[in-house]
Structure 1
């Protein structure tokens, strides 16, 4: 089975890479700003459900949306030169996101793991586990922001 899926995965990866290589800097910034905004909205939906009556359906939808984005190849939207420029707003990506490959890879892998864990926990209805996992997922976001995102201009 793995031998059958490997060529398909390689083709999908190559297609994703070539498609992102054709993105203009401002397009890449808009797409990633949109993805992160959508994830933030879904994290807010989960948070709201941990503070009141738990709606399992809402939590599952939000967690699955976050996991889908986390596993979508979001890193390919960090095209060269997109540490400067404007999408919907001026980007706040620091240039270190392009030079610290090992650090970025570690943060991205942890984010994917925690997003997938959130999706797995979402359907259990366990509010305590959900809240704990939301904290872990949020910590991965904070780690990336602390290292690779400039503070907003005031």
Structure 2
């Protein structure tokens, strides 16, 4: 009986360790999926502006997508989801070593994303373009400091 109890305990420990190992990988994959969705939305809006005949509906939808993620960005990088997780990620170690800087960058992004959505919702394409430019600046600033080149 004792042998069975020890085997069950070892199995439970193995399952717990495997679950912990999977959690960072799943977190990274979910983060990457969300970031790609935001990138796709930004590209859609950017392409619409560059077309010479911006589509207000495309820009509004893109702004809504990005703003929908705005307050979540800062939560996508829990400790243990960097290169040490053994999953390919462009996240630099500075995300965790400079938490104050990363939190500020995430807050700046959130404010700019909400500003882009407000401008896009207003229907004023000039204001939306300006707000998107400001949003792009927050993306660039964060990528330069906290993202490895692909």
TM-score, normalisation: structure 2: 0.78
Shift of 1:23: 7.1
Q: Which has the larger radius of gyration?
A: 2
Return the alpha-carbon distance in structure 2 between the equivalents of residues 108 and 24 of structure 1.
23
TM-score, normalisation: structure 1: 0.76
Q: How does 1:122-133 map to 2 (within 5 A)?
A: 122-133=120-131
Shift of 1:24: 0.7
Alignment: residue pair count = 128
**CA, structure 1 residues 107+23, in 2 after alignment: closer, same or farther (shift >3 Å)?**
farther
Return the alpha-carbon distance in structure 2 between the equivalents of residues 41 and 107 of structure 1.
20
Secondary structure of 1:24's partner? helix
4+ residue segments displaced more than 2 Å: 73-77, 123-128
1:36 and 2:35 are equivalent in the alignment: yes
In structure 1, the partner of 2:144 is 146
Unaligned 5+ segments in structure 1 are: 1-20
Higher helix share: 2
In structure 2, the partner of 1:98 is 96
* Equivalent of 1:108 in 106, 109, 119: 106
Return the alpha-carbon distance in structure 2 between the equivalents of residues 74 and 110 of structure 1.
11
Instruction: Kindly indicate whether the alpha-carbon contact (under 8 Å) linking 1:92 and 1:150 is maintained by their aligned counterparts in 2.
Output: yes
Cα RMSD (Å)? 1.8
Instruction: Kindly indicate whether the alpha-carbon contact (under 8 Å) linking 1:39 and 1:66 is maintained by their aligned counterparts in 2.
Output: yes
